[in-house]
Structure 1
């Protein structure tokens, strides 16, 4: 088995809704939804990688909070190790270099879009912890 590809995703919450981004046509898994983020480069912490990816993809700065969920998923014979983190942003993203659409979804709406396979475990965890999302946002915004 090959070494897992370590990636990070941002669970950005605003007004009780979570940001979902659809992968653009030039991307692998085009048309599927994901949490914004990307690959952790050598020498980076997960938090550093996530801040860098948010600047590169969404042109926003984020404050990384607690870990939401981690899981490893096999995609076409390659293990993808996705770590999703709570992220607070001062401004909402308006454009993306990697995505052709963005939506703010309530926890009960997450299942309405077709998520990329590596993101599904985190989506399920968020759906089952809907009350925690509001609690986390309340604490985070103090």
Structure 2
């Protein structure tokens, strides 16, 4: 009998928050120690076993920014295949329920007008989220 080793691709589901406040959107710059160092992203993180997308997002935002959020709208999922793993971003438009942000993972945050989002150096997967957000805004108007 011949055995064949098949490499299994890691699939990582990552709910992320497009946090709106006073007409602006929050962007977070990744830590220099993380993958995609110093790239910009929408805050969020890896889903744990038996968590819903929404539970993951609330937990991750609490851990990363020390704030509570209200989820407003789920946007279309985007993905980025990196060969050895696939990142599936699950974006949600959110509002802040608390105001004092404390950074625990990001180098810095920035509040931007929606039209200025593309001025930053985003992770590739987050670029798809920006496009979904622009689509959401165009329908919302």
The interval holding the TM-score normalised by the smaller chain is 0.7 to 0.9
Greater share of strand residues, 1 or 2? 1
Aligned partner (choices 5, 9, 12) of residue 12 of structure 2: 5
Aligned residue number for residue 103 of structure 1: 110
Within the candidate set 58, 78, 81, 1:51 is matched to 58
Return the TM-score normalized by structure 1: 0.85
- Higher helix fraction (1 or 2): 1
CA shift at 1:130, angstroms? Answer: 3.8
Find runs of 4+ consecutive structure 1 residues off by over 3 angstroms: 127-133
Q: Does 1:36 align with 2:43?
A: yes
SS at match of 1:4: strand
* Runs of 5+ unmatched residues, structure 1: 136-142
TM-score by length of 2: 0.86
RMSD (Å), alpha carbons: 1.8
Aligned partner of 2:4 in structure 1 is none
**1:7–1:38: 8 Å Cα contact kept in structure 2?**
yes
Any conservation in 2 of the 1:8–1:85 contact (CA below 8 Å)?
yes
Matched, 1:26 2:33: yes
1:61 aligns with 2:68: yes
The match for 2:94 among 87, 93, 96 is 87
SS, match of residue 69 in structure 1: coil
Which residue pairs with 1:139 in the alignment? none
Q: Which runs of 5+ in 2 are unaligned?
A: 1-7
* Closer, same or farther: CA 93–10 of 1 in aligned 2, 3 Å: farther
- Higher-Rg member (1/2): 2
Q: Distance in 1 between matches of 2:135 and 2:116?
A: 12
Give aligned pairs, total: 134
Alpha-carbon distance change, 22 to 117 in structure 1, aligned in 2, over 3 angstroms: same
